[in-house]
Amino acid sequence: MLLEGAKVRRIRIHDIRHTYASLAIYQGLDPKALADRMGHSRASLTLDVYGHVFEEQRERAALTLADLVNRADQPSDPLQK
C-alpha cells in the first residue's frame, strides 16, 4: 500500500477538517467567518469544538498575567515614584 511505503499514518478527511479549523483559530481567523466556512450555525459551536489552546498561547497568557501583576505593583501616578 502507498501509505505503508511512504511511512505516513492514515488520516481521515475529518482529521484534515479538524486541523484546518484549529489552526485557523490559532492564526486569528474571525470565528464567525470560520463558522460559516465550517457550516456551523454559531461561532460558539466552532470555538467549542475546534478552539484548542496551544502551548504558545499558554505561554503568551502567562507572560501577559505576569505583566499585569508587575504593573499593579507600580504606581499609576508618575509623581508617586
- What are the structural domain ranges in the chain? 2-73
Helices 13-26 and 31-38: angle between axes, nearest 10 degrees: 170
Could you read off the pLDDT of 9-57 as tens digits, one per residue?
Answer: 888 999 999 999 999 998 989 999 999 999 999 999 999 999 887 888 7
Contact of 26 with 57, CB cutoff 8 Å? yes
* Prediction pTM value: 0.61
